[in-house]
């Protein structure tokens, strides 16, 4: 375990802060690896007064850990960021989410919704301390059984409720937005294709999946010059957020651009909720394998597709216009979603269920 995380646990222990490992971190711990599902850490904290939070922030600061209160989706949580001696911010972080204790249950806001645990299952008087990689961490009593019972709730960050869905009205808006993006990508001359849930809907249903929440595209990286040209043209029409690769040894660093998140503008300076994700693929090789592939990173997970799908593209008609798709698109979708891809599944997450995720061991 990295030193910054050890420092967090040491401060919590010496400060006698009542907490438990939470969310996907607890599921990972129950399966033997705290950081199995994320290189970040999630904790649930039993109710504390503001003065205790203030004292805790001072103790963290002595270790170069900055505690910041955050409001997301109208709910409070605390984020811990690590800084080096040169004040450089590390990519890893800790999220501390307050628990709300009621007569018969304990609730916490995860994945844009409240989830509940029985008081008999999560009780401040029945916490356990277990050793993980030489560090003592606090968990619910009988935590492996707890993680199994509440696995769906604990993985709520992966299976989130989204404010965007494609009903009849929003579908029209999304299609117009998609075609405008396609026109700009074509004008710039990048090698791109529709993928993910958008391609799945196109092949299976000939429309956007009603419960999907974004548009998915991919592109082959050629040069930084081309990327800058693309971003400039997109920003003339849309709000564009450029995401880089996390600086952690667990995630591939492939270049300067990981994904472009493209949104319709709202009042020029702001953005709508609807998003088109344009993932940037880089030609490379899987560790200890000679076969060249196209690599990318999604949801902080290393992923890849075979070159045969993306060296060349085909086209299909989607909402009345031609749009590029990977070669042999049905096989591409099968590699991503499995052989049963024709069966609709409302609960699916790329970080857990995607067949393109690179798995070691």
Phi, psi of 36 (to 5 degrees): -65, -40
**CA-CA distance, 182 to 200, in Å (whole number)?**
18
For 172, the 3-state DSSP assignment is helix
pTM: 0.78
Determine how β-strand 105-110 pairs with β-strand 113-118.
antiparallel
Query: Of residues 108 and 167, which shows the higher confidence score?
Result: 108
Give the architecture (CATH level 2) of 3-157: 2-Layer Sandwich (3.30)
Per-residue confidence (pLDDT) for residue 162, from 0 to 100:
67
Residues 6+ away with beta carbon under 8 Å from 228:
none
For position 91, what pLDDT does the model report? Answer: 80
pLDDT of the residue at 321 = 96
pLDDT band at 270 (very low <50, low <70, confident <90, very high): confident
- pLDDT bin (cut points 50, 70, 90) of residue 27 is very high
Q: What mean pLDDT do residues 291-318 have?
A: 94
- For residue 124, the model assigns a pLDDT of 95
Q: What share of the chain is helix, strand, coil (3-state, %, to 5)?
A: 30, 35, 35
- For residue 87, what pLDDT is reported? 65
pLDDT at 246: 83
From 46-50, 135-139, 145-149, 157-161, the region with the lowest mean pLDDT: 157-161
Band (287; pLDDT cuts 50, 70, 90): confident
Quote the percentage of the chain above a pLDDT of 90.
76
Q: Which of 192-201, 220-229, 330-339, 349-358 has the lowest mean pLDDT?
A: 349-358
SS3 157: helix
Q: What is the DSSP letter of 118?
A: E
As a whole number, the mean pLDDT across the chain is: 92
Q: In whole angstroms, what is the distance from residue 194 CA to residue 185 CA?
A: 12
CA gap 275, 347 in Å, rounded = 19
The tens digit of pLDDT for each residue in 178-219 reads 999 999 999 999 999 999 999 999 999 999 999 888 999 999
The string of DSSP codes covering 245-298 is ---STTS---SS-SEEEEEEEETTTEE-S--EEEEEEEEEE-TT--SEEEEEEE
| Domain limits, the chain | 3-157, 168-353
pLDDT at 111: 81
φ, ψ at 151 (rounded to 5°): -55, -45
Higher pLDDT, 14 or 346: 14
337, containing H or E segment: helix 329-337
Q: Does the pLDDT of residue 1 top 80, yes or no?
A: yes
Helices H, strands E: what count in the chain? 11, 20
Which is it for strands 105-110 and 270-271: parallel, antiparallel or unpaired? unpaired
pLDDT over threshold 90, residue 36: no
User: CA–CA distance from 243 to each of 28, 75, 163, 259, 300 (Å)?
Assistant: 26, 25, 22, 5, 11
Q: What is the pLDDT of residue 361?
A: 53
Contact assessment for residue 25 and residue 9, using Cβ atoms and an 8 Å cutoff:
no
Which CATH class, in words, describes the domain spanning 168-353? alpha beta
Read off the pLDDT band of 92 (50, 70, 90). Answer: confident
Distance of CA 319 to the CA centre of its chain: 29
The Cβ-side half-sphere exposure at 141, using a 13 Å CA radius, reads 11
- Whether the per-residue pLDDT at 164 is higher than 80: the answer is no
Residue 311 has pLDDT above 60, yes or no: yes
Do 155 and 36 touch, CB atoms closer than 8 A?
no
What would the mean pLDDT of 17-25 be, rounded to a whole number? Answer: 96
Same fold, 3-157 and 168-353: yes
Q: Could you tell me the two tokens for 91?
A: 């990519």
Residue-wise pLDDT tens digits, 56-87: 999 999 999 999 999 988 899 999 999 876 66
């Amino acid at each position: 375990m990295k030193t910054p995380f050890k420092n967090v646990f040491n401060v919590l222990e010496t400060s006698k802060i009542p907490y438990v490992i939470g969310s996907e971190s607890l599921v990972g711990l129950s399966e033997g690896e705290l950081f199995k599902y994320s290189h970040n850490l999630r904790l649930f904290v039993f109710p504390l007064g503001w003065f205790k939070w203030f004292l805790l922030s001072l103790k963290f600061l002595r270790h170069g850990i900055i505690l910041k209160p955050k409001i997301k989706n109208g709910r409070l949580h605390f984020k811990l960021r690590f800084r080096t001696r040169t004040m450089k911010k590390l990519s890893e972080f800790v999220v501390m989410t307050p628990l709300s204790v009621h007569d018969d249950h304990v609730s916490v806001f995860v994945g844009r919704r409240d989830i509940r645990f029985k008081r008999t299952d999560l009780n401040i008087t029945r916490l356990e301390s277990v050793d993980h990689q030489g560090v003592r961490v606090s968990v619910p009593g009988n935590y492996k059984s707890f993680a199994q019972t509440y696995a769906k709730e604990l993985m709520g960050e992966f299976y989130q409720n989204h404010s965007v869905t494609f009903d009849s009205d929003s579908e029209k808006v999304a299609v117009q937005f998609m075609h405008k993006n396609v026109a700009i990508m074509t004008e710039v001359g990048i090698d791109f294709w529709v993928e993910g849930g958008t391609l799945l809907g196109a092949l299976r249903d000939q429309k956007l999946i009603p419960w999907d929440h974004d548009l998915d595209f991919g592109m082959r990286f050629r040069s930084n010059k081309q990327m800058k040209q693309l971003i400039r043209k997109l920003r003339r029409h849309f709000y564009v957020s450029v995401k880089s690769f996390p600086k952690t040894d667990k995630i591939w660093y492939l270049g300067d651009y990981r994904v472009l998140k493209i949104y319709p503008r709202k009042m020029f300076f702001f953005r709508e909720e609807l998003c088109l994700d344009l993932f940037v693929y880089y030609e490379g090789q899987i560790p200890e394998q000679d076969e060249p592939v196209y690599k990318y990173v999604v949801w902080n997970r290393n992923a890849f597709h075979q070159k045969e799908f993306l060296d060349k593209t085909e086209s299909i008609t989607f909402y009345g216009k031609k749009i590029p798709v990977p070669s042999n698109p049905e096989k591409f979708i099968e590699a991503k979603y499995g052989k049963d891809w024709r069966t609709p599944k409302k609960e699916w997450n790329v970080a857990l269920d995607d067949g393109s995720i690179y798995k070691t061991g």
